Structure 1
Amino acid sequence: MSSPILPNYYLDDPRLRAAEARYTFFLPSMAEIAAVQPNDLVKLLFEYTHETEEYAGERMWVKVGRAEGDHLSGTLGNQPYEPTSPLKPDDAITFERHHIVDIIWNRPDDAPPTSEYREYWERCLVDDCVLNGSEPIEYLYREEPDMTQEGDKHTDSGWRIRGRFNGASDEELAERKASYVALGAVLNRDDSWLAWIDEPAGTRLTRNFETGIYVREE
């Protein structure tokens, strides 16, 4: 009989996530990461390697104790939510600078300037074929926002986004499934229309796939 897999974890490298989700997953700048010193708090991505009950991974804070070049160590700063986690507060954690996804400075006045970037959390309605990457965007328009949902702190942008028609009939297009998601989730898949994102309600755009240019419909 095989032995049970004991609870264990590894630290995920967030750089791949950031590259795949440039508009929804943001990392501190290289200057910020390089400036991390003892007594700063840093957030890391813990991924469990055993079968879990609730969470396959958690983002948790670590208080830095030592920093020697790219190699750091510290102690876990919070209680894991996953019941089967092998970790507990004050456990020793070793990691490297590239594992850091967020920082709370012990001395904020001495910290480098925070990176400035635009976030795209406003919502839009988009064909699922765009979200799953099976079709690029072909047609999009912006109407007056009317889908803001109760409890959602992010408002409806008014953008409505259709995947490539690819010869589909009107009935087939009508049957396509769509999702109400953040603009950033769409941009992660297809950001070819980013230059138009601040255009006003009433804007209608069709993509010319030969030139890659969006043409405004009057």
Structure 2
Amino acid sequence: MRLPGPIERQWRRWFGRYEIDDPRPIAEGAPYTYFLPGENELLALAPGDLAKIVFRSIPPGRIWQAERMWVAITSVDRDWLTGTLDNHPSDMPQLEAGDVVKFRRSDVIDIIWDEARMTPPPPAAQRREYWERCLVDRCVVDDGVKVDYIYREEPDMADPDDSYPDSGWRIRGDDRNATDAELDDRKAEYIALGVVLNRDDGWLHLIDAPVGARFRRNWETGLFEACAD
């Protein structure tokens, strides 16, 4: 049985702990949607900069298990940085704004540079992001089914208030071993291209193909080939 809210918060303030997540495994698993600072940016971190890191509550919070918060860097010792928490946690009473935090450069997921000094140069290779939307069989995203057929039509799904446009790409999952009932149950989802690419990027080289383009995967070679329908 969980303690009442105020009592629980006091208990967690006295006895709760936290750990700092290593974001690299997440970035490796989602390279098209989860972006980390480049190595030259991490090496340039210095006192006065703000670094965002992921704090995970122990025990888990009532609302959030982890929170992304900013830390104002005060000192640097090789790979380790020390700073003070620059946010008020939403669901982590064991932490308060101003608390001292020690973390590694590799823990940083975002940076705000001190305006008093020059911002380090961006990474050498400009990163392309894939936030435009597409329509995809949900089994590709949820169940790891490989992409089988892609085609691009005139974009027609975006609303005026959408942050990102419809790319026009329509993506179908492998149906070779699916039953008729399974095919009938398939649902589509309107999501970012990058989410699909995280699951299967074998068609990335075709992403700039024009409206009207259609490709089907040759399962013997694993390559996508142009097709008429």
- Taking structure 1 as the reference length, the TM-score comes to 0.91
1:27 matched residue in structure 2: 36
Is 1:41 aligned to residue 29 of structure 2? no
Aligned partner (choices 64, 75, 81) of residue 73 of structure 2: 64
Query: In 2, Cα distance between the equivalents of 1:85 and 1:75?
Result: 16
2:213 matched residue in structure 1: 203
Is 1:212 aligned to residue 226 of structure 2? no
Structure 1, unaligned runs of 5 or more: none
1:102 matched residue in structure 2: 110
**Aligned-residue offset at 1:34:** 0.6
Secondary structure of the structure 2 residue equivalent to 1:110: coil
Secondary structure of the structure 2 residue equivalent to 1:16: helix
Contact 2:144 2:199 in 1 (8 A): no
1:185 matched residue in structure 2: 195
Contact 2:32 2:195 in 1 (8 A): yes
Query: In 2, Cα distance between the equivalents of 1:53 and 1:144?
Result: 45
**Aligned-residue offset at 1:94:** 0.5
**Distance change (3 Å), C-alpha of 1:133 and 1:175:** closer
Query: In 1, Cα distance between the equivalents of 2:193 and 2:152?
Result: 12
Aligned residues: 214
**Aligned-residue offset at 1:215:** 0.9
Structure 2, unaligned runs of 5 or more: 1-10
Query: In 1, Cα distance between the equivalents of 2:47 and 2:215?
Result: 52
Q: 1:111-145 CA deviation, whole Å, 9 max, x = no partner?
A: 32123211100111111111124310001111111
Aligned partner (choices 150, 162, 166) of residue 140 of structure 1: 150
Query: In 1, Cα distance between the equivalents of 2:27 and 2:178?
Result: 34
**Aligned-residue offset at 1:167:** 3.8
**Distance change (3 Å), C-alpha of 1:141 and 1:171:** farther
**Aligned-residue offset at 1:211:** 0.7
Question: CA-atom RMSD, angstroms?
Answer: 1.8
Contact 1:28 1:114 in 2 (8 A): no
**Aligned-residue offset at 1:169:** 5.3
Q: Which amino acid aligns with 1:149?
A: D
Query: In 1, Cα distance between the equivalents of 2:74 and 2:179?
Result: 62
Of stretches 164-173 and 23-32 in structure 1, the one that deviates more from structure 2 is 164-173
- Taking structure 2 as the reference length, the TM-score comes to 0.87
1:92 matched residue in structure 2: 100
**Distance change (3 Å), C-alpha of 1:180 and 1:97:** same
1:175 matched residue in structure 2: 185
Q: Which amino acid aligns with 1:81?
A: S
Of stretches 50-59 and 64-73 in structure 1, the one that deviates more from structure 2 is 50-59
**Aligned-residue offset at 1:164:** 0.4
Contact 1:165 1:173 in 2 (8 A): yes
Secondary structure of the structure 1 residue equivalent to 2:209: coil
